[in-house]
Structure 1
Amino acid sequence: MPDPSLVPTTDHVDFVVSQWRQHCPQHDVAAMQIVSRIFRYATLATRDAEQAFRAHGLQQGEFDLLATLYRGGPPHTLSPQQLIDALLLSSGAMTNRLDRLETAGLVTRSPNPEDRRGVRVALTEQGLARIQAAMGDYLPVLEQLISPLSDGDRQTLAALLRQLLAVHDQHSPGALRP
């Protein structure tokens, strides 16, 4: 954790909110302080994470798909619909993503033995090696992103974000665990 005396006490959102308060005092912009920080942080975090993905020839969406297959454990196989639900994608976007990953040799699609109309998507050995290597570079990026926070602050922030997401996740397909 960095020296607390070196961590800035204001950010870009403070500046933006002060402008809104000055020029639109009739509006309550309190929620903007939270949501704008989440949006801005997500943008900055995505930028940093994408560097780790690019080092392994992946885009964020491709990493997310491979990671979803990987984290489910062996045999690292899901249906396209399970992937769509988990990643909140349209079927067209999923097809495009699967096409790219299959062409790269990172996943395979094969008939679903339980449903002849469906297919199963599985990590290949190359896909497994790629996601494991990418995770090795991605996790330190995540650690760096939260390095200004103490362990207690990390737990508090995780709990607060969980509280917000739990309400919204219940209306998102695939967000809740079976």
Structure 2
Amino acid sequence: MFTYRKNIDEEKRKELETQRKASTDEMTGVYTKKATERIIDGVLCGKLQGSYSFFIIDIDNFKQANDLHGHIFGDYCIREFVERLKKFCREDDIIGRIGGDEFVVFGTISDEEGARRKAARLCQKLDTICEDSGSCWKMSVSVGIALAPQHGRSFAMLYEKADKALYQTKDKGKNGYTVYEEKE
């Protein structure tokens, strides 16, 4: 009986490890889009403890890094970006890769002004030079922000509104952020 129990524990450990690996992006180690959506919806469907910010972060002109220096360098830049992002974020922030060079950060905030301050610091932190093996490329980001519960109580609603704000940032020249505003 003891051996049988031990095997069940080992199987459960392996199953949990497999689930964890399936939920994370192999190259960056952050959550996949589906895992990010599932986790954020899990937070939002419960009793909310305050306010949350939902950032969509797009690396500006990322295709240029690949076109000028190759995809290996582009992958290096993505990994550098994620390392800087992880150092910037709090331990309880949810970080996910939702596309090639698009990421989400979801976490608690004090108010809209707190989200703006965080976005400004993030843009400053990620406005940098990415260098590896003689290749060099200037990296910056555009950020779109939605707030919960004001702008929605689901991943889909926040994603839609933050995406609209992201495109406003791009229209203003990139390398900055925009908080979603309801149009009347």
TM tier, smaller: under 0.3
Q: Which has the higher strand share?
A: 2
Q: Give TM-score, length-normalised by structure 1.
A: 0.26
Query: Considering only CA atoms, is the larger Rg found in Structure 1 or Structure 2?
Result: 1
Q: Give TM-score, length-normalised by structure 2.
A: 0.25
